[in-house]
Amino acid sequence: MKEWDEQNIDHFYQGLICAKLHKGLRSILLLDADFETIDTIIPLFTEILKIGAQSQLEIVKLPSSPSEDDLWGNIIPKSDSKDRKQGTGNGLSVIWREGLLTWNRIKNNHLLIVIPDLARINLSISRACIMLMDTPVTVMQRHGQEHIWKPNITWLAACDRDKIGRVSEHLLDRFSLRLSPPPFKKEKNISKIIQWLDSTENLFTGSNHLPEDVLYYIKDKLKSAEYHYPVSFSSEAIQRILKYYFPEGSTLGVRRELTLARMSQALARLDLSTGITVKHVIKAAEIIGLPDIPQDFDDSEKEPQTDLEPEKNKEPSRDRENGVREPETAIPEDSASIFDDPPTYDPEPQNSEPEAFPPHPMLDKSPYPEDTAPVEREQFSLRLPIRRHTAVSDDRGIIMGIQSTSTLHDIALVPTIIEAAIFQNIRRKNNETLPKDRLVISPADLRSYLRESKPDRMLILVIDFTCLKDCKWQDKLIHHLRWAYVNRASVCIVQVGADTDENELKAKKVTAKTILSPAINNALESRPGKATPLAHGLDLAYHTIQQSRLHGRGHVTQSRLVVITDGRGNVPLSASQDGKIEDKRPVNREGIDDALEIAHKIFDLKKVLSTILDPQPRYHAELPIMLADAMGAVRELVDLDEDF
């Protein structure tokens, strides 16, 4: 078998191999991986998990919003058509139906749980993941049933880095291994599909991401390392692990250190080493994607000699004489390894042969993006929100993409037909009984829409930035922002008179799914402009409420409108809609009258709680009162600054 250098095996696949060897690494989070990338990875990872496995492997792809019954199981009526037809039934009988997470409870099969988008899952999945990950025993008491079993589960989830702030920190902490998949070539060549179908080596050689001999070499290495366990960690290796993180004053716990230690142990098993050394720790950090530690850390200058190591490993290398420190390893000379690095201190010409996986920019990013990502989740994101209405189904949200499915719910017809059309000739070739004048669709072709879930409450803020200079408007606004936070309401900010790059005669609308979105913070920190298109701002708020509630497919059942203004609008609504003023005549009260007219329209909307925050202007103090009366809103006075 040809020996392969480690550079021909991508860090991503090395991480999957180590996850096979160590059960503590079998909760994997893929960063920036779409559903097509996940579907490409699943067959390869499945074959890796099947190597030397004693139980059958089952793949379960979780939907984004399952119920507790879907996950843990429930009691359903037993269907007995024979008794029902003959009328001999003794009453309604029920049976227990297993949930998505309990399929392996009786047979103790190995489950591969796939979560395509971690940022979109509901509370049921979040709680289930936290309860099942890294737990040796699971106890379930539900609907009169009590079961105890060992969850043999491997978790494979995906999440974009820019959406990581929406996920609970407790849930992210449960995913021990973070990996960034390499870029895949998304090509569907008919000749490659035929070759894949005719292959006798199943799905493993159907993947074209690694050469065939490398795949078999990985199988041999896994089989040889399956029952090999290193003796212990060296003290230098332990110090090196702790140095990668922040041991002094850190509140992150020890899960990340344990992940690095488990990865180092898996690499030592692949090397058939008698102990875990600094070299294994360094290589594990490279696979995970950790940044380099400070240069002044020099405990890797030497490695301790275990009882089983020969004394000849103490000989200094020629590079140490040149002043370059190199960590010595405790690996026997006769052990073959696919993880032996070429010396990095001796520059040599690079091999002209193309690598199987060239380095990609994902590896330069931190494997823990939640440390620096803006927080877009609630403080108690694992608690159920206070709801007075039932949850809305996901088939009415904004379409964000497509995903593979096993049901006909919210089916995406065009993507399904396109996927099925690719395999028509192959299916008719293998089965001549299929009709030639009809499109043959397999369950594997089904695609459904990936939709964004919508909250059922909305906070609309109309802020006149030209009147905020001499008042404490933030203090009055906190109460309404807290309401949006507690109720997980969507937020819409209408900027009136803000200094933006757009037309100053128009108001600007900024929307976000939650109050924690960075766009909301940026909108609240805008500076005042020169004009005050108050009528256009109220018109935007009116149409926003109307579209969210009165258009049949709207989900919002309760809206809260908060307007901060002194009422002095100096831009007519027609000028805002046209983006210019036709003549140079004075506008007089046209902007104010247009704002009052729209306020009367808002008064006619149902289930809208309106509030006017009065900044107590020096001149025309009656305008906020008139606006509140026309809108039917509650008027609250905003405290003035002490220096005003």
> Per-residue pLDDT tens for 362-371?
444 788 888 8
What pLDDT score does 192 carry?
Answer: 60
Q: What kind and span of H or E run contains 477?
A: helix 473-486
Mean pLDDT of 606-621: 90
Higher per-residue pLDDT: 259 or 3 = 259
How distant, in Å, are the alpha carbons of 159, 519, 631 from that of 376? 14, 11, 33
From the list 289, 273, 475, the residue with the least C-alpha distance to 364 is 289
Residue 492's domain comprises: 457-637
Cβ atoms of 274 and 309 closer than 8 Å: yes
Identify whether residues 445 and 480 lie together within a single domain.
no
Same domain, 422 and 537: no
Residue 497 pLDDT exceeds 70: yes
* Integer Cα distance of 8 and 357 in angstroms: 6
- How far is the C-alpha of 204 from the C-alpha of 104, rounded, in Å? 24
Assess if residue 349 is contained within a domain: no
Q: What pLDDT digit, counting tens, does each position of 529-561 carry?
A: 888 999 999 999 999 998 887 554 556 778 999
Q: Evaluate whether 602 touches 610 at the Cβ level (below 8 Å).
A: yes
- CA nearest to 569, candidates 476, 515, 477, 497: 497
- 323-376 pLDDT, tens digit per residue, is 444 444 343 444 444 444 444 434 444 444 444 334 444 444 788 888 888 777
Strands (E), 419-498: 447-452, 457-464, 490-496
pLDDT of residue 436: 76
Residue 433 in any domain: the answer is yes
Q: In this structure, are 210 and 135 located in the same domain?
A: yes
SS3 state of residue 450? strand
Helix ranges (H only) for 233-360 are 235-243, 255-270, 278-288, 318-321
Please tell me the distance from the alpha carbon of residue 354 to that of residue 384, in angstroms, as a whole number.
52
Same domain, 264 and 243: yes
Cβ neighbours, 10 Å, residue 190: 11
206: pLDDT strictly greater than 90? no
User: What is this structure's pTM?
Assistant: 0.59
What band does 644 get if pLDDT is binned at 50, 70 and 90? low
Inside any domain, residue 131? yes
Boundary of a domain, candidates 407, 432, 452:
452
Amino acid letter for position 393: S
Q: Give residue 33's identity as a one-letter amino acid code.
A: A
Question: Which of the two residues, 408 and 352, has the higher pLDDT score?
Answer: 408
Which among 159, 136, 158, 160 is positioned nearest to 149, based on CA atoms? 136
Of 321, 346, 363, the position where a domain reaches its end is 321
User: Nearest 10 degrees: CA dihedral of 427, 433, 439, 443?
Assistant: -60
Kindly state whether residue 593 falls inside one of the protein's structural domains.
yes
Query: Are the CB atoms for 6 and 338 separated by under 8 Å?
Result: yes
Secondary structure element (H or E) that encloses residue 634, with its range: strand 634-637
Indicate if 440 and 490 belong to the same structural domain: no
Same domain, 403 and 491: no
72-82 pLDDT tens trace? 888 877 755 55
CB contact at 8 A, 228 and 269: yes
Final residue in a domain of this structure, among 452, 486, 518: 452
Q: Does a structural domain hold residue 83?
A: no
Q: Which of 11, 7, 15 is nearest to 341 (CA)?
A: 7
Contacts of 537 (CB under 8 A, 6+ apart): 462, 464, 494, 495, 496, 507
Residues 193, 271 share a domain:
yes
What is the residue-averaged pLDDT of the chain?
A: 76
**Are 187 and 140 members of one domain?**
yes
Provide the CATH number for the domain around residue 525: 3.40.50.410
**Do the domain assignments include residue 58?**
yes
Confidence of residue 124 (pLDDT cuts 50, 70, 90): confident
Separation of alpha carbons 289 and 254, rounded Å:
18
pLDDT classification of 514: cutoffs 50, 70, 90: confident
Q: Are strands 153-159 and 110-115 parallel, antiparallel or unpaired?
A: parallel
367 part of a folded domain: no
Tell whether 432 and 464 lie within a shared domain. no
pLDDT digits (tens, 9 = 90+) for 131-166: 898 888 888 888 778 889 888 899 999 999 888 888
CATH assignment at residue 114 = 3.40.50.300
Q: Does residue 386 form part of some domain?
A: no
Same domain for 505 and 435: no
Number of domains comprising the chain: 3
Q: pLDDT higher for 172 or 352?
A: 172
User: Do 399 and 305 share a structural domain?
Assistant: no
Task: Please check whether residues 411 and 304 belong to one and the same domain.
Answer: no
Give residue 464's pLDDT. 93
